[in-house]
Amino acid sequence: MTREHLFTITSTDRVGQSDRCESLLASLEMHFRGAQAMSLSCYRAGSAIVELLIQLSDDRIFCLTIWQDVLDAAPLSKEDIRVSHKEISLPDVADIFLLIFQIARRCQFLPSLCGEVETSFLLNFKKQEQADEPGH
């Protein structure tokens, strides 16, 4: 039995997206329009967990929790938007990283390493103009 994935990766390193992937990304992009920043942290609770905290405005944050498990990644629902949280599961680290960086690209974010070494917060993402400002 073949595992389902959001992304395909060819032997020539080309990445393709499934229809399910495009539906998820389109719903995220629509809701994240105007997002200011994003941070990535990772945890372990029986399996790998990645959390993306997306700063939508000065006082609004959306949390996307990604579990490593069988593919379960529906587009955002009205309830997800209402509670500012969405949980999905992706089958492997390749799908997890590809999704994170697709979100970052669509939001026009640039990644940077977090300054602290002993923290589960790994990356910060900011818009180009914010990343260029002193102190960011």
Query: pLDDT tens for residues 72-91?
Result: 999 999 999 999 999 999 99
For residues 72 and 6, give the distance between their C-alpha atoms in angstroms, rounded to a whole number. Answer: 9
Instruction: Give the pLDDT confidence score for residue 77 in this predicted structure.
Output: 96
Instruction: Give the chain's domain count.
Output: 1
Is 2 a domain residue? no
Q: Which residues make Cβ contacts (< 8 Å) with residue 118, sequence separation at least 6?
A: none
pTM for the structure as a whole: 0.89
pLDDT profile of the chain (136 residues), mean per 10 = 85 91 94 94 94 95 97 96 97 96 95 89 87 59
In a domain, 56, yes or no: yes
In a domain, 116, yes or no: yes
Question: What range does the domain containing 40 cover?
Answer: 7-130
Residue pair 15/35 in contact (Cβ under 8 Å)? The answer is no
CA 72 to chain centroid: 14
User: What residue has token string 């994003």?
Assistant: 38
Q: Would you state the pLDDT for residue 118?
A: 87
User: Does residue 82 belong to any structural domain of this protein?
Assistant: yes
16 belongs to a structural domain: yes
> Is the sign of the CA dihedral 96, 100, 102, 103 positive or negative?
positive
